[in-house]
A = this chain, B = another copy of it.
Amino acid sequence: MVVKAFVFIEVAAGKSREVVAGITDLQQKRKEIQSVEAVTGPYDVIAVVEGPNVNAVGDLVTKNIQSVSGVMRTVTCLAMKLG
């Protein structure tokens, strides 16, 4: 079973490009990162990630994504398949 999450990312002023580049680099070693894109609207960047469970997603976000230079704050939204 796979857990999918949208990770909304706020970046330091003027750092959208660096953050997108940094997370794109991460994709080499962390295949769970499906996509990462700069966006208009209340957040600066959105990454879509998948993992085997909630804890794996938590590890990916707190260990890897939050360590990218320019990342200020992340909000993780887990997708739920309602029965």
Chain A contact residues, CB within 8 Å of chain B:
1, 3-6, 8, 13-14, 16-17, 20, 37-43, 46, 53-55, 57-59, 62-63, 66-67, 71-73, 75-83
Contact = CB atoms under 8 A, between A and B. Distances in A.
13 contacts: A5-B40, A13-B66, A14-B62, A20-B82, A39-B79, A40-B78, A41-B41, A42-B77, A43-B77, A54-B80, A55-B82, A58-B82, A59-B83
Interface of A is mostly: mixed
Contacts of A83: 55, 59, 63
Oligomer copy total: 10
A80 B63 contact: no
A62 B81 contact: no
